[in-house]
Structure 1
């Protein structure tokens, strides 16, 4: 399975992290009723702009499995859910909601 991790400002806004274009180490796990994303970013200046918009971020995970349509998972990170540790070079995002969708399953009704 191939996976792409995106962090964007709002839904149609610009991408701050896009592992499809610029790979960075990350992991994500479901813990109780939320999802925790941990991203390794060693240089604080690389995420300075992201942190300005930390209360308006959306997180996306696109999962591509051979011979299946791409599954897109959209997570919402709310207030006070984004933190950066300069000591660890680690960005943490906690999402409290998600929507899973497969674009190929949607069709226009005429």
Structure 2
């Protein structure tokens, strides 16, 4: 399975993080009643801008399989904490809920 993590500005659609083009490591783990997404990345202008818009983020995880359609997971950050720890070079995003779906199952 191949995964792609994308963090975007919900209103403008600007992409802040894209795991296919950015060199980074990430984890998505259950955290209480939600999920914690941790991203190891040096602080940059994109991270600074992301932090300015931390209450307007969309987080997506695309899971691509050889034998089935791609699954898309959309995490709802809402008012969940978003922060950056300088000494760890780590961004943490807490999502309160998520929706899993297969885009191929929707007719356009």
Regarding TM over 0.5, the answer is yes
Q: Which residue of 2 aligns with 1:26?
A: 26
Alignment of structure 1 residues 11-50 onto 2, 5 Å: 13-50=13-50
Q: Which residue of 2 aligns with 1:78?
A: 78
Q: Which runs of 5+ in 2 are unaligned?
A: none
Which structure has the greater CA radius of gyration? 1
Q: Is the 8 A contact 1:35 1:95 kept in 2?
A: yes
Q: Is the 8 A contact 1:11 1:58 kept in 2?
A: no
Runs of 4+ in 1 over 6 A off after TM superposition: none
Displacement of 1:45 in angstroms is 3.8
Q: TM-score, normalised by structure 2?
A: 0.91
Displacement of 1:67 in angstroms is 1.7
Number of equivalent positions? 108
Q: TM-score, normalised by structure 1?
A: 0.90
Displacement of 1:23 in angstroms is 3.2
